[in-house]
Structure 1
Amino acid sequence: MLIVDKEGILIRYNVKMEKSMTPEEAAAELYPKEELYKPIAEAIFEGEEDDVIEGLEAAIAAGKDPIALIDDALMVGMKVVTDLYDQGVIFLPNVMMSADAMLEGIEFCKSQSTETPVQKGKVICMVAEGDVHDIGKSIVAALLRANGYEVIDLGRDVPSAEALAAVKEHKPLMMTGTALMTTTMYAFKEVNDLLVESGITMPFACGGGAVNQDFVSTYSLGVYGEEAADAPKMADAILAGADVAALRAKFHNH
């Protein structure tokens, strides 16, 4: 007789939450309590760019630093969205609308500040060859820019040879790759091999729905990023002297 361990079955969807709560109610539980930040996070969840700007204007008028609002309000609001997406409560179109609203907010915050963040270094961002889904890459690029990195955005469906040429031209401290389709993730191995053949040892941080840690660990420069927010943390670690092995020790689940 086959005995099924029901407790051991992983459920991607938060069924309890879905049954008892609407997405709006689920989001409401995750918003920041700070009264100036909450409307901004709510506007990002709803994908309402004008409301995001209004919320930022109110916070700046109340004395909040525009650059600090990127981390304290915009990123917090985007995390609500990505958390609910991971739980299956909301879907990719919602995430795309929210990301657009967040990016508008970041540009507004930068325009309101006399402070020009010192560029820490260059990072190349790309989507695997054959893959046209660039939402993950766009979020990674936005987070890196918000954290003071100059981003060279190669876009989506990037041929491996083009990625290599960009690395040779810009000499970044890191490259990120995202893939949403399992049929395209093997392009990362090809990029890795081209880099190695050229004597390049720069970390190649890969993530996205199609990619897992086991796969990324099979190629020598690969570092797995579970969340978009890992990208700036990895870049900071590289600036502090971390190589591929050190990044794997820090960011991989062992």
Structure 2
Amino acid sequence: MDIDPTKILVRYNVQKEKAQTPDQMAAEMFPKDEPAKSIAKAIFEGEEDDVIEGLEKAIEKGANPIKLIDDVLMPGMKIVTDLYDQGVVFLPNVMMSADAMLEGIEFCKESAGSAPKPKGKVVCHVAEGDVHDIGKTIVAALLRSAGYEVVDLGRDVPVDEVIAAVKKESPMMLTGTALMTTTMYAFKEINDRLLEAGIKIPFQCGGGAVNQDFVASYQLGIYGEEAADAPKMANAILAGKGLAQLKDMFHKH
């Protein structure tokens, strides 16, 4: 048989294994057409002015501002979160990109005179007694940049306020962040109060003080190890996943 031995036992990805910088990896993921390519690049670089400039040009040429949110801004941000998931870029990059993308959304909303319909509503808070809100801020930004409406209650939020907000807003999910072990027990109380009220929404809990064993010990709790898990959970809820399935998806066994 006439077989070319050079093609045997070559791993399929050897050709791609040349070291790539994050910028090069992102460049391969950008859309091919303009203005989507320039806008995606500006989101990746966290350049708010360039995002707005690209959107202005697109709208001048007749693009629908609301369609630009779904077709250009969202996919541009997804490139950043995908690279974050792969460990290629880090949280500060994600935050800069999210800010640039959210500025773009505001600009599109103003240009259109209307807002796109959010995918769903999420209430976020930092546990009572806890003033460390960087984690919650990141969760809220990532949820917003994934197309969700966020009701941000802030930090050191009393349990009563969390329950009142959930009753008032009827969110698809509640998130809680705690960085001090003394404050995380508020989550158990929130869980019990929600169940007493007959409200069974997923309650995503995370932050430095919290671990999976603690969160798994109460019925509504789902542990989110990373801030980026929040939009993934929201997407899973939209796709019809219930509490048991969410625990299955996000808890390490």
Establish whether TM, by shorter chain, passes 0.5.
Answer: yes
d(CA) in 2 for partners of 1:90 and 1:40? Answer: 18
> 1:196 corresponds to which letter in structure 2?
L
Q: Structure 2: how far apart are the matches of 1:247 and 1:138?
A: 22
Change (3 A) 1:182 1:24: farther
Q: Partner residue of 1:220? A: 219
Report the counterpart of residue 23 of structure 1 in structure 2: 22
Give unmatched runs, 5+ long, in structure 1: 1-15
Aligned partner of 1:7 in structure 2 is none
| Conservation of the 8 A alpha-carbon contact between 2:122 and 2:174 | yes
Partners of 1:122 and 1:171 in 2: CA distance:
8
Percent identity between matched residues is: 59
Q: Is the 8 A contact 1:137 1:177 kept in 2?
A: no
Structure 1 CA distance for aligned equivalents of residues 85 and 120 of structure 2: 30
1:50, distance to aligned residue in structure 2 (A): 0.4
Letter in 2 for 1:29: E
**Cα gap change, 1:48/1:188 in structure 2, threshold over 3 Å: closer, same or farther?**
same
Cα gap change, 1:121 to 1:39, in 2 (>3 Å): closer
Match of 1:58 in 2: 57
Would the aligned equivalents of 1:48 and 1:101 in 2 still touch at CA under 8 Å? yes
Q: Does 1:132 align with 2:143?
A: no
Aligned to 2:36: 37
Residue 122 of structure 2 is matched in structure 1 by 123
Residue 89 (structure 2) pairs with residue 86 (structure 1): no
Q: Which residue of 1 aligns with 2:13?
A: none
SS in 1 for 2:151: strand
5+ residue gaps, structure 2: 1-15
8 Å contact from structure 1 (residues 52, 101) kept in 2: yes
Supply the AA of the counterpart residue of 2:143.
Answer: V
The equivalent position to 1:230 in structure 2, one of 223, 229, 232, is 232
1:172 is matched with which residue?
Answer: 170
CA RMSD of aligned residues (A): 3.6
Taking the aligned partners of 1:118 and 1:83, their CA distance within structure 2 comes to 24
1:216/1:224 contact within 8 Å kept = yes
Given residue 26 of structure 1, which amino acid in structure 2 is its aligned partner? M
Report the Cα distance in structure 1 between the residues aligned to 2:32 and 2:251, rounded to whole angstroms: 32
**Rg bigger for which structure?**
2
- 1:223 is displaced (CA, Å) by 4.6
On the 8 A contact 2:109/2:116 being kept in 1, the answer is: no
- Tell me if the contact between 1:45 and 1:78 (Cα under 8 Å) persists in the aligned partners: yes
- Aligned-pair CA distance for 1:137: 1.9
TM-score (normalised: structure 1): 0.71
Instruction: Return the letter of the residue paired with 1:174.
Output: M
Specify the code of the residue in structure 2 equivalent to 1:136: V
Q: CA deviation at 1:116?
A: 4.3
CA distance in 1 between counterparts of 2:110 and 2:232 reads 26
Q: Which residue identity lines up with residue 166 of structure 1 in the other structure?
A: A
After superposition, the C-alpha distances for 1:189-243 in whole angstroms (9 at most, x for unaligned) are 34222322343223324567887877654422235676443355356457xxx75
